[in-house]
Structure 1
Amino acid sequence: METLENSNQKPLSVKEWLKTLLLLAIPVVGIVLLFVYAFGSNENPNRQNWAKAYLILVGIILALVIVGFIIFGSIMAATMAANS
């Protein structure tokens, strides 16, 4: 069984989570940090898994928004073509 002696294996404190969330609130820095947290080799596994899950969720939402725009755009184009 693995011990929590390594500092990267310890659970993150509330202070560390607040720091993480505040940094992610900065627009460009947040996106870069998500990738660093998700794919960095020296990251806490808790933060690393959270960042990967967050990136997957953002990817799914972005894909749904793009599909929605395509559907809405095609409906609008069809409507405009029918009215011409």
Structure 2
Amino acid sequence: MNIPEEFKKPPVTLGDWIISVIVTKIPLIGFIMLIVWAVDKNTDPNKANWAKAELIVKLIGFLIVIIFIAIIGIGFFTNFADQVDWSDFD
């Protein structure tokens, strides 16, 4: 019976997962490591899928923050523009 190579590898240990999670919490290095783990062919498939999922979640969170900041910014500048007496700038 032929078993695929990815099933012949031992599972990722608890210690490896803890180190991986801690590394991802380091601001810029964690993001870079997620990209490396997601695209590296030598990374365990479970860890690669986890890294891809983390990147997707981080991207969604980043987009939500950008939209939130844009909405607040538009509201602030709209309110600011309504309060300015533009005739003073003639």
Query: Per the shorter chain, which TM-score range?
Result: 0.7 to 0.9
TM-score normalised by structure 1 residue count: 0.86
5 Å-filtered alignment, 1:17-36, equals 17-36=17-36
Counterparts of 1:81 and 1:28 in 2: how far apart (Å)?
A: 37
TM-score normalised by structure 2 residue count: 0.81
Give yes or no for the alignment of 1:64 onto 2:72.
no
5 Å-filtered alignment, 1:69-80, equals 69-80=69-80
Partner residue in 1 for 2:3: 2
Give yes or no for the alignment of 1:50 onto 2:50.
yes
Question: CA offsets, 1:19-73, max 9 Å, x none?
Answer: 1112222222211110011011110000000000010010011011101111111
Counterparts of 2:26 and 2:79 in 1: how far apart (Å)?
A: 40
- Higher Cα Rg: structure 1 or 2? 2
Counterparts of 1:76 and 1:2 in 2: how far apart (Å)?
A: 61
Give yes or no for the alignment of 1:39 onto 2:47.
no
> What's the C-alpha RMSD, in Å, of the aligned pairs?
1.4
Structure 1, unaligned stretches of length 5 or more?
none
Q: For CA contacts below 8 A with separation 6 or more, give which structure has more relative contact order.
A: 1
